[in-house]
Amino acid sequence: MTSYIPGEGHNLQEHSVVLIRGGRVKDLPGVRYHIIRGAIDTLGVKDRRQRRSKYGAKRPK
């Protein structure tokens, strides 16, 4: 299954377990799913200040 990893960078390896949701990526043919950041083996995006919930980022101090 091919899925899109949103945000900058990721920590995923070959046998990582991820949570996916539907939603295609218009400019990538055949990609019909997104990976949910911050769930199971996927970390959130570091240093993210806006739209944090979409990228699994914690609130900055």
Q: Residue 61's pLDDT band (boundaries 50, 70, 90)?
A: confident
CA distances from 43 to 6, 24, 58 (A): 11, 21, 10
Domain count for the chain, please give it.
1
CATH number at residue 4: 2.40.50.140
| pTM for this prediction | 0.83
Structural domain including 40 reads 1-61
Alpha helices in 1-61 (DSSP H): 52-55
Question: For the segment 3-55, what is each residue's pLDDT rounded down to a tens digit?
Answer: 999 999 999 999 999 999 999 999 999 999 999 999 899 999 998 999 999 99
